[in-house]
Amino acid sequence: MATFRNRNGKWQVRVRRKGQPAVVKSFQTKQDGERWARQVESDIDKGAYTNLALAERTTLKDLIERYIIEVTALSRSAKEDTFRLKALSRDPLAALNVTGLTPSQVAKYRDRRLKYVSNGTVIRELSYLSSIINHARREWGINAANPIPLVKKPPSPQGRNRLLSEAEIMRLLDALKPRIKSSNIWMQSLVSFALESGMRRGEMLGLTWENVNFDNHTAHIPLTKNGDPRTVPLSSAAINILRAMPRHISGKVFPINPPTVSASFDTARKRAEIVDFHFHDLRHMAITRMAEKLPNLIELSAVSGHKSLAMLKRYYHPNPELLAEKLG
Tens-digit pLDDT profile for the chain (328 aa)? 677 788 877 888 777 766 666 777 777 887 887 787 777 777 666 665 555 566 677 889 999 999 999 998 887 777 888 888 999 999 999 998 888 889 999 999 999 999 998 888 899 999 999 999 999 888 887 878 889 999 999 987 766 677 888 999 999 999 998 776 555 789 999 999 999 998 888 889 989 999 999 999 999 988 766 667 888 889 899 999 999 999 999 999 999 988 889 999 999 999 999 998 899 889 888 888 887 777 777 777 777 777 666 666 666 666 666 666 767 6
Task: Kindly report the CATH class assigned to 166-327.
Answer: mainly alpha
Instruction: Give pLDDT, residue 254.
Output: 94
CB 211 within 8 A of CB 225: no
What pLDDT does residue 241 have?
Answer: 94
Residue 152: CB atoms within 10 A of its CB come to: 8
Active-site residue set:
200, 225, 280, 283, 306, 315
- 10 Å Cβ neighbour count for 47? 6
- For helices 60-70 and 119-139, the axis angle rounded to 10 degrees is 80
The residues near 192 (Cβ < 8 Å, ≥ 6 apart) are 173, 241
Whether residue 5 contacts residue 24, with contact meaning beta carbons closer than 8 Å, is answered with: no
Q: What is the DSSP string of 166-230?
A: HHHHHHHHHHTS--STTS-TTHHHHHHHHHHH---HHHHHT-BGGGEETTTTEEEESS-TTSS-E
The pTM (predicted TM-score) of the whole model is: 0.62
* Beta carbons of 55 and 97 less than 8 angstroms apart: yes
What one-character-per-residue DSSP string does 31-82 give?
HHHHHHHHHHHHHHHHT-----HHHHT-BHHHHHHHHHHHTGGGSTTHHHHH
Cβ count within 10 A of residue 33: 22
Do 144 and 101 contact (CB within 8 A), yes or no? yes
Angle between helices 103-114 and 119-139 (to 10 degrees): 150
User: How far is the C-alpha of 224 from the C-alpha of 198, rounded, in Å?
Assistant: 13
The answer to whether 64 and 85 are in contact (CB under 8 A) is yes
8 A C-beta contact, residue 306 and residue 294: no
Phi-psi bin for 227: left (phi > 0), alpha (psi -120 to 50), beta? left
